[in-house]
Amino acid sequence: MKLRTLLVDDEDLARASLRAMLAQDADIEIVGEAVNGPDAIEKAADLKPDLILLDIEMPGANGFEVVAALEGSPAVVFATAYDEYAIRAFEANAIDYVLKPVRRERLAQAVQKVKERRPAQQEYAEKTVTVARQQAGVPKRIAVRRGKRIVILPLREVIRIEIEDKLVFAFTAGEKLLVEKTIGQLETMLEPAGFLRISRGELVNQEMVRELMPWFSGTWRVKLANGEERDVSRERAKALKEAMGVD
């Protein structure tokens, strides 16, 4: 299986150079590029890469802030012109730290480290998820806030869950209720209950999906039981169609 790789650097030339060097590695699939910190966080959440090649000094958020915001556990290799961050990089569990200008041989060495560690990391992650699900079972309800009160909401009543202004809300047929968890935590927790992520900031209850509609540039839309139509990103469309039994 190929290493799904995200390139993050605010310099076009730097990304082009990395892209050219990695093109010769048959085990690498470049799934996206990001030009600043916030863009990197968003792309990583959408694309779920196995490997992120990451600059440090960038607009919006630096490389360490990006790592702190990542969901899941992608391998991180820093590629930067600054040598003073090396210790901090390894404290952040980076696999390697490559100095610019990046040499082909040095990059290949860093990627090889990722390849060698990948099987163990995948096995650990899979076991962790399996154990957690076995212990928790399939959830049937979720705790939400209605004002100052905590309400135990049956999941069968939840139509969708969405981020709004950095807060997460569960939407029922008549209410919008605060959920005090991240969208990533909810994706992991609610997947066994039939919730699917359709974009960076939204989950839908499969039981509430009524129609799938092709949209623009490879995207789709879903029509839900309450009549709402929601956008589905290109990256999420395949999983949604498979869950709905659509080829």
Domains of the chain, residue spans: 3-134, 141-243
What pTM, to 2 d.p., does this model score? 0.54
Q: How confident is the model at residue 121 (pLDDT cuts 50, 70, 90)?
A: low
Q: Which one is predicted more confidently, 233 or 163? A: 163
- How many Cα atoms sit within 13 Å of 76 on the Cβ side? 28
- CATH entry 3.90.1570.10 includes domain 3-134: no
The pLDDT of residue 219 is 80
Per-residue pLDDT tens digits for 164-208: 988 999 999 999 999 988 888 888 889 889 999 998 899 999 999
Give the class (CATH, top level) of 141-243: mainly beta
**Averaged pLDDT, 119-148:** 63
The pLDDT of residue 71 is 72
Q: Assess whether the region 3-134 and the region 141-243 belong to the same CATH fold.
A: no
Q: Which one is predicted more confidently, 227 or 244? A: 227
Rounded CA-CA distance 247/112 in Å is 36
